[in-house]
Structure 1
């Protein structure tokens, strides 16, 4: 398509957003601008349209963090509609009522679209009513065999079709092709060195701490919203690496530690990040904590050495709070590698 259309439209409940929705949006993002309407009537009492729209914004936030949600170079304009404020018709209303509601809403907003993207049988008639082109995306659900109804009925059974950020809001964690093993610890406690050594020893992959990457990219000037983005992006990098890993995937840090840093730097934590922290016990097959006993290395990005003991204690407290069992590793790198391999062998 390559921007042959100026403005595209996607309409849905996104209750909750799943991989099928993501396929739809990412296919539709071949236009110059994509308008996304999120609504249902009756709506979810626990995760209303405004919340689900926020999840989409979180999913498609980029490194810059300030340009608004986008897919590639295509900006997303995401609107959450409600029966009270916007007159959303009941879900059971006839097709003509539903189509006319969208037509009138777009007209009131001064939004002109060229094409509608859908994964539903109603798509052609909907587009014809609006007087625009239609593109069907995986209507048979062969590429992503899931629906919002199935997820609502049993989120755990369909977690594989959910992005980790969305899954966490539902209290579940998607399965991985290989077990994920996570390493936590204070700054300069040897996590990265240990992960790299284990990956080499086991012939597999490991995932560096994405928070460190973004921290350096932004010259140490992280914003509050960056912390949720760090957790989301780190989870995505884990999932990408898991597809290439052999037998086990080693991960440097997790969303729970990112939540701690959110409280440390900003004295608050986004509820979506809290949810991602809360499912870390499900996400990782084993948790190791690196004792802060290796020599401290100040690389210009870390806090003072005196903070290590406090950070170590906070991590242990958080693990106890979430009821996550862990193994403490100490000694040289070689000794730590041996300790981890012995535990995993059991």
Structure 2
């Protein structure tokens, strides 16, 4: 594996919020990081693609996928160095891979898949679509939310990831995550 996509190994408990777009994962990752006095990892693709869109008016292209993956893992590794017990990730490379497969189904992303599956996370939380849609320059599937949710869920099942579906308002979601982290109880994880 190339150094630019290697995940730094450490003793942190890595929690990833994995989702279709506009489901509240940024809010929950930020909030939990504040409450646990640690770091959260933003979604590198948001800034990368917004910058591209602002400069060129173009959306994501297949050639953007590996730079996004490299930027995401670099950001995660950097923030892991200054984290305390937990690292809350707004995304990960498995999510990048899923998006790549959805938007560019005829491209070969086997390298990204291999890298993504080599990375370790202690918890996957799939955020439900029961939150209001918020439009922006990059979000483009307001009418396909259920379909996208199922696609993301199916990849978690396919790659045998333990995951929990987070539904409800922010308070309920925070409570569920904390309960699972405190009990370390995978019995409540969905499949």
Q: How would you bin the TM-score normalised by the shorter chain?
A: 0.7 to 0.9
Q: How does 1:70-149 map to 2 (within 5 A)?
A: none
Residue in 2 aligned with 1:306?
143
Distance in 1, Cα, partners of 2:108 & 2:122: 25
* TM-score normalised over the length of structure 1: 0.49
Q: CA deviation at 1:254?
A: 1.1
Residue in 2 aligned with 1:263?
101
1:321 aligns with 2:185: no
Aligned length: 178
1:291 aligns with 2:113: no
Q: Which of 18, 21, 39 lines up with 1:205 in the alignment? A: 39
* TM-score normalised over the length of structure 2: 0.87
What residue ranges of structure 2 are gaps of 5+ in the alignment?
Answer: 184-191
Q: 1:238 to 1:278 in 2, by over 3 A?
A: same
Residue in 1 aligned with 2:112?
273
What residue ranges of structure 1 are gaps of 5+ in the alignment?
Answer: 1-15, 17-54, 56-162, 168-172
Residue in 1 aligned with 2:63?
225
Q: CA deviation at 1:269?
A: 3.6
Distance in 2, Cα, partners of 1:289 & 1:164: 26
1:239 aligns with 2:64: no
Residue in 1 aligned with 2:19?
185
Matched-pair contact (CA < 8 Å) for 1:228–1:270:
no
Q: CA deviation at 1:174?
A: 4.3
Residue in 2 aligned with 1:214?
48
Distance in 1, Cα, partners of 2:11 & 2:74: 14
Distance in 2, Cα, partners of 1:213 & 1:221: 12
The higher radius of gyration belongs to 1
Q: How does 1:26-45 map to 2 (within 5 A)?
A: none
Higher RCO (CA < 8 A, seq sep 6+): 2
Q: CA RMSD in A?
A: 1.7
| 1:60-114 Cα shifts (integer Å, max 9, x gaps) | xxxxxxxxxxxxxxxxxxxxxxxxxxxxxxxxxxxxxxxxxxxxxxxxxxxxxxx
Matched-pair contact (CA < 8 Å) for 2:14–2:86:
yes
Matched-pair contact (CA < 8 Å) for 2:16–2:90:
yes
1:337 aligns with 2:171: no
Matched-pair contact (CA < 8 Å) for 1:177–1:243:
no
Matched-pair contact (CA < 8 Å) for 2:101–2:109:
no
Which structure's residues are more often helix, by fraction? 2
Q: Secondary structure at the match of 1:218?
A: helix
Q: CA deviation at 1:289?
A: 0.7
Distance in 2, Cα, partners of 1:300 & 1:174: 32
Q: CA deviation at 1:296?
A: 0.8
Q: CA deviation at 1:213?
A: 1.3
